[in-house]
A = this chain, B = another copy of it.
Amino acid sequence: MSNAPSNPKGTRDFLPTELSKRNYIIDILKKNFKNFGFSEIETPALEKTSTLLGKYGNEGDRLVFKILNSGEKVKKADINALNSNDLKSFSKSISEKGLRYDLTVPLARYVAQHQNNLTFPFKRFQIQTVWRADRPQHGRFQEFTQCDADVVGNNSIVQEIELIKLYDSIFSELGFNDLVFKINHRLILRGIADYIGIENNLNEFISIIDKLDKIGSDSVVDEIKQNFQDVSISKLEKLLKNKSLSFENISLLLKDSSLANKGIGDLKSIFDFISSKSLNNEIKFDLTLARGLNYYTGTILEVVSKTNTRLGSLGGGGRYDDLTSLFNMKNTSGVGISFGLDRIFILMDEKKLFPSYLKNSFDVIIINFGIKYLKEIYFFIDMLRTKNNKVLIYPDKIKLNKQLSYANKHNAEHAIIFGENEYNKNEIIVKNMIKGTQSVHDLKELNTNILQ
């Protein structure tokens, strides 16, 4: 059956119930983003190659989906490059556009391009698809949705405080109260790199620290020993092997580092404002939180579940200075968070946090006894729909049982019965499919309250 129709590997079709669950999450995200003063924007799926390439490292460049130039333009294919195995140049010769790889570089491009039409600080959220030409695997998709909220053009700690409150507000509304918001600061990590004597290799240091959760502190110490010669091992071991090292102790340890002090000051302001007491979830300083990406420069944070730790983070974010400098707009600090839609979905399914009504494609079925009867009660169908009841008219006059069975498959709550008997008596029967009860109503006195 290789001829059977199928979607490409790494992509997904969404069936109605699955999509209504996804949209339930997205709607709660959107509502809260708006309530926190963020405005929605959208950028195109297609971006110029010059916007995309060189922003995500070599591996990233490789994973950008490239669009083949159309029409005659493919004639410019650089055959020499192909023959000499320079696939990058060959691709470049026949492609000028690619698919959006994330929402951050497009945001930077957007802000730089439209700076004169925006008011700063610019608070935007964006929920759109991104594409990566990754090898498709179980749970890893080539096409997935990113949900980001960022503030561009402001470096007040109020933004960090609000983003943590936003996380708590959204996750609470989704039904979570057992998450941990881990928080750290890049300047503290820089302070530590100074402290143990490897300040010139910060990015390497961070990328090793970032593996702590996966490989454990012994392996991290080993890896650092191997990579750095002059590192003060005793200091490092003291730090890393004591994962519960408190915020207070770190402040004492790094009190002479001016960099670290800025970071510590930021976190202090945050903790002074919000504590776990004022949240439905927990907030926790975590010295070992590094977050891989190079562009973070200030606060970094990450959301994890206490009960399902193997799932990875449900969201993360941080502050990055000079977001837009790639596009010739200087001194524009940004801070943002993102939500891992697919992981949130998995965890909510596991914990049965989705309301059961999401399984209903419609609430009410109108049983079809012939078009004459439908016409007679169409005024009432109009009324039900105006009051936002989801009403489906069964299209064919078939056996009552078959129509009711269709309604049951869709978890419809009510069936409305109006056939010849009812027509003659000027009444309508409302059947509650869940409770198994039914009630009779005068056709002239119908109102939407009869659906109880």
Residue numbers of A with Cβ under 8 A of B are: 3-8, 11-16, 19-20, 23, 31-32, 34-37, 39-48, 51, 62-63, 65-68, 70-72, 74-75, 77, 79, 82, 85, 87, 90-91, 94-97, 99, 109-110, 112-114, 117-119, 121, 123-124, 129, 131, 133, 142-143, 151, 154, 156-159, 162, 165, 169, 269, 272-273, 278, 327-328, 361-362, 368, 371, 374-375, 378, 382, 385, 388-393, 395-396, 406, 409-410
Residues of B within 8 A of A162 (CB): 393
Q: Which residue of B lies closest to A129 (CB)?
A: B45
Bound CA span A151–B393, Å: 12
Residues of B within 8 A of A91 (CB): 68, 74
Q: Are B35 and A13 in contact (CB under 8 A)?
A: no
Q: Which residue of B lies closest to A143 (CB)?
A: B44
B67, B113, B278, B392: the one contacting A4 at CB < 8 Å is: B113
Given known contacts A14-B42, A19-B41, A44-B143, A133 and B70 CB-to-CB distance under 8 angstroms: yes
B11, B47, B119: the one contacting A7 at CB < 8 Å is: B47
Q: Are A67 and B70 in contact (CB under 8 A)?
A: no
Q: Are A385 and B169 in contact (CB under 8 A)?
A: yes
Given known contacts A15-B41, A390-B35, A70 and B74 CB-to-CB distance under 8 angstroms: no
Q: Are B67 and A75 in contact (CB under 8 A)?
A: no
Cross-chain pairs A/B with CB under 8 angstroms, 24 sampled = A5-B113, A5-B327, A8-B44, A8-B47, A8-B96, A13-B42, A13-B44, A13-B110, A14-B41, A15-B117, A16-B39, A16-B41, A31-B388, A36-B392, A65-B68, A68-B68, A71-B133, A75-B85, A77-B82, A121-B395, A151-B395, A156-B395, A158-B371, A278-B378
User: With A15-B114, A68-B91 given, can you name 17 additional A-B contacts, CB distance below 8 Å?
Assistant: A4-B113, A5-B328, A11-B45, A15-B118, A16-B39, A19-B40, A23-B40, A35-B385, A35-B390, A36-B391, A37-B392, A74-B87, A75-B82, A79-B79, A158-B374, A158-B395, A278-B378
Bound CA span A74–B66, Å: 11
- Choose among A66, A118, A395 the residue with the greatest number of B CB atoms under 10 Å from its CB: A395
Residues of B within 8 A of A374 (CB): 158, 273
Residues of B within 8 A of A361 (CB): 37, 39, 123
Q: Are A62 and B71 in contact (CB under 8 A)?
A: yes
Bound CA span A392–B170, Å: 16
B8, B129, B158, B409: the one contacting A368 at CB < 8 Å is: B158
Q: Are B45 and A7 in contact (CB under 8 A)?
A: no
Residues of B within 8 A of A6 (CB): 48, 113
Given known contacts A5-B51, A43-B13, A327-B5, A95 and B79 CB-to-CB distance under 8 angstroms: no
B65, B154, B390: the one contacting A34 at CB < 8 Å is: B390
Bound CA span A113–B70, Å: 30
- Choose among A46, A124, A154, A159 the residue with the greatest number of B CB atoms under 10 Å from its CB: A46
Q: Are B11 and A46 in contact (CB under 8 A)?
A: yes
B272, B382, B409: the one contacting A119 at CB < 8 Å is: B409
A143 to chain B, nearest CB (A): 5
Residues of B within 8 A of A169 (CB): 385
Residues of B within 8 A of A110 (CB): 13
A393 to chain B, nearest CB (A): 6
- Choose among A5, A43, A71 the residue with the greatest number of B CB atoms under 10 Å from its CB: A5
B4, B95, B382: the one contacting A68 at CB < 8 Å is: B95
Bound CA span A385–B35, Å: 5
Bound CA span A70–B362, Å: 43
Residues of B within 8 A of A51 (CB): 5
Q: Which residue of B lies closest to A160 (CB)?
A: B395
Residues of B within 8 A of A19 (CB): 39-42
Residues of B within 8 A of A96 (CB): 8
Q: Which residue of B lies closest to A360 (CB)?
A: B39
Bound CA span A186–B71, Å: 35
Residues of B within 8 A of A36 (CB): 385, 390-392
Bound CA span A74–B62, Å: 12
